[in-house]
Structure 1
Amino acid sequence: MTSVIASIKDLIYSVFEVIFSTIKASFDAVFSIFHSLFASIFSVFGILLNTAKDAVGAVGGVGKFIASNIFVLAFVGIGIYGFLNYRSRQGRPVKVGNKKLN
């Protein structure tokens, strides 16, 4: 008699285990679908943010390049102006081509 009761108990346990494992598998499937959907949406936002950050970095790099070129050209211009001014104060004529400037 004990084996019959144990067998019925095991049968009921197995039926409930099948039902609960089916429900758990369904919830896991729905959760994994939502998780992958949210992960893909957030990855798109991450890609957009990284692209914007890289674009700002590139513009900053170009800005630094232009600013350094302006600085170098201004330095060369000041040097040329100082040299021409020095030459004119020494009494030597400053010539550009065949023209005399002072």
Structure 2
Amino acid sequence: MSSIIASIKDLITSLFEVVFSIFGIAANLVQNGISLVASTFAGLINMVIDMFKGVINAAGGIVSFTASNFLILGVIAAAFFGFLQFQRSQGRTVKVGDKKLN
């Protein structure tokens, strides 16, 4: 008789374990769903931030390239102007095409 009672006790215990495991699975699903949504929004925010960082880096590269080109052109123009001034100070005529600049 005690084995029947032990069997019924084990049956009830296993039924409770099944019910609690179902609730545990449901709780894990809810927790993982919330984690999925939070990770998705965090990923989207990080993607937007990285995109703006890339745009700023690209703009900085373009500005740096443009500034260096203007600097090089300015140095060339200053050297040409200096050469023309040197030629004038030496008393030589400066000719550009068919036109004299003195």
**For the superposition of Structure 1 and Structure 2, which TM-score range results when normalised by the shorter chain?**
over 0.9
1:31-67 deviation per Cα after TM superposition (whole angstroms, max 9, x unaligned): 1111111111111111101100000000000011011
Letter in 2 for 1:95: K
Aligned mates of 2:77, 2:99 — CA distance in 1:
20
Aligned mates of 2:78, 2:11 — CA distance in 1:
98
Pairwise CA distance, 1:75: 0.6
C-alpha RMSD over aligned residues:
1.0
Q: Which residue of 1 aligns with 2:52?
A: 52
**Percent identity between the aligned chains?**
39
How many residues are aligned here? 102
Pairwise CA distance, 1:89: 0.9
Normalised to the residue count of structure 2, the TM-score between the two structures is: 0.94
Q: Which runs of 4+ in 1 moved over 4 A?
A: none
Secondary structure at the residue paired with 1:24? helix
1:64-101 deviation per Cα after TM superposition (whole angstroms, max 9, x unaligned): 10110011011101100110011111111001111111
Q: Which residue of 1 aligns with 2:88?
A: 88
Normalised to the residue count of structure 1, the TM-score between the two structures is: 0.94
Q: Which residue of 2 aligns with 1:62?
A: 62
Aligned mates of 1:31, 1:66 — CA distance in 2:
52
Aligned mates of 1:33, 1:101 — CA distance in 2:
80
The gaps in structure 2 that reach 5 residues or longer are none
The gaps in structure 1 that reach 5 residues or longer are none
